[in-house]
Structure 1
């Protein structure tokens, strides 16, 4: 394992959290970074292999085929990020861009553009996580397992990890809680039958597998699942033959609204409630500490 305790380690981890624009070494405003991309090196595609720290395990065939057609028409517009394989001459390990690499093979390309960086194992995993999280390519469990690896293999704390990947500590903690679910429930999450919100609601169940199957069978949304877990009034399933997943109980939020709450909550790492009122409505962000409030204000201010 490479030594990650270099004097510049803190500065490099800080740059990772700024996003994909920082992966090439300079800020997005620095045009020399764009020049580096344009001057990327062409490498035979067979010299590249998937990275051992790739958190993503599943690739959507339909989306991949769309990328294949784009590459055939326009080529690869963004180079792959790689590091040299220390064990094999003329071999490179993929850090970011595995979808492009897979699509390029299907498209019949013999060479692909790459940017070569010297990266430690920890930085390789951090960057792979950042790319997939920002592109929303990871399932909740893949994201959670990536966080777990960073904590277990590289001794990250949750706070340090959150800074590295640009998420709040509460978001990291909530995602990692999903790993405590039984394998059958995790399988439903991985397949997309249950969302991360559904899974979090099931964490308090004494029999999460049975409840999860009931939730999927009845087509319950997250709010309905939470009501079911609290043992409130019986929750009705979706209307037979209905569209859009609307619930028959008018006191429950529409599934699309609940999903939007989950999406915003996942992005900012805080609980969000959307309350419709006629043609308008309101959004409430719940925070527990002043640090969380400061973080929200910085985001709103565009800093």
Structure 2
């Protein structure tokens, strides 16, 4: 269950040659940047260009329509474009040859900012990747820069599973996240589309979104999400709202005392919930005894929790 720190999976360095990404390496201290003539299309030229640092016209570069990231912060792009006007594009884009143009694998934000800056040519690194590697690199780069919103990240994981048949363990390994984090991320795709958009628009946090998952009725789920936003409920208050909506006949709980001990147990509940990905309650008894209750809302959810517990044997 230990999550590695200090890098994301194999990272880009492991998937791209060192000379392509490490300007401090001996071979890359003074890369030979050439202007490419895209009229030559033979195989020998493609092999020669692969891994080289090139200057390519902006008009010969196109974004990857299948990349995970769909939204770009306009203010951040304008800020980057001002930097590019002053200093140029400091890090080459990673691209692959596609017929008579180059498709961006990593660096679309730099490309968009360069367009805003009026740049005519940008430095690129040309590599040849499989479709799966292209998706993985785009995903890793965006996660490293924290550029993906929660729904884009979840959709990218799902694509790796559906199209390339990767298991969640394999995906977690590639992006250096726990399997639980990947699982919890993908669960967000079960939300009503309107609730997903509220998450994208930062009207809700991922904690709020996960708390709303037990509400299976889409209209009720959306109504609850709107209530959470309008009343500025925190995650714990959202969980209580969901519990009340699912069990309207339950008696109202007594007012919490919020003693230091209560707060300590609440912290432990939150810690366990972040690991398991489901609502957890610690029922205290006398003499430091008690029990831990884990809620589940479907057979699939139960099987997921069992599988998770078995993985930590």
TM-score by length of 2: 0.67
Verify the 8 A CA contact 1:53 1:128 in the aligned structure 2.
Answer: no
Task: Note closer, same or farther for the CA distance 1:215–1:38 as it changes in structure 2 (3 Å cut).
Answer: farther
Matched with 1:230 is: 243
Q: How does 1:51-130 map to 2 (within 5 A)?
A: 51-85=64-98, 88-89=99-100, 91-130=101-140
- Aligned residue pair count: 239
Structure-2 separation of matches of 1:225 and 1:108: 47
Matched with 1:42 is: 55
Structure-1 separation of matches of 2:207 and 2:237: 11
Structure 1 position 142 matched with structure 2 position 136: no
Structure 1 position 21 matched with structure 2 position 13: yes
Verify the 8 A CA contact 2:208 2:235 in the aligned structure 1.
Answer: yes
Measure how far apart 1:53 and its partner are.
2.5
Q: Which runs of 5+ in 1 are unaligned?
A: 1-14, 235-248, 272-287, 294-303
Matched with 1:244 is: none
Matched with 2:166 is: 156
Measure how far apart 1:47 and its partner are.
0.6
Greater Rg by CA: 2
Structure-2 separation of matches of 1:204 and 1:62: 36
Verify the 8 A CA contact 1:147 1:172 in the aligned structure 2.
Answer: yes
Task: Note closer, same or farther for the CA distance 1:155–1:143 as it changes in structure 2 (3 Å cut).
Answer: same
Structure-1 separation of matches of 2:310 and 2:104: 40
Verify the 8 A CA contact 1:16 1:127 in the aligned structure 2.
Answer: no
Verify the 8 A CA contact 1:20 1:131 in the aligned structure 2.
Answer: yes
Measure how far apart 1:58 and its partner are.
0.8
Measure how far apart 1:159 and its partner are.
1.2
Verify the 8 A CA contact 2:142 2:148 in the aligned structure 1.
Answer: yes
Could you say what secondary structure the match of 1:194 adopts?
coil
Structure 1 position 31 matched with structure 2 position 25: yes
Measure how far apart 1:24 and its partner are.
2.7
Could you say what secondary structure the match of 1:113 adopts?
strand
Structure-1 separation of matches of 2:77 and 2:164: 32
Matched with 1:281 is: none
What per-residue deviation string (whole Å, max 9, x for no partner) do you get for residues 97-147 of structure 1?
A: 101000001101110011111100000000000011111101100001111
Task: Note closer, same or farther for the CA distance 1:38–1:250 as it changes in structure 2 (3 Å cut).
Answer: farther
Task: Note closer, same or farther for the CA distance 1:65–1:160 as it changes in structure 2 (3 Å cut).
Answer: same
Matched with 1:4 is: none
Could you say what secondary structure the match of 1:176 adopts?
helix
Measure how far apart 1:229 and its partner are.
2.1
TM-score by length of 1: 0.69
Task: Note closer, same or farther for the CA distance 1:37–1:191 as it changes in structure 2 (3 Å cut).
Answer: farther
Q: How does 1:287-302 map to 2 (within 5 A)?
A: none
Task: Note closer, same or farther for the CA distance 1:34–1:20 as it changes in structure 2 (3 Å cut).
Answer: farther
Task: Note closer, same or farther for the CA distance 1:66–1:58 as it changes in structure 2 (3 Å cut).
Answer: same
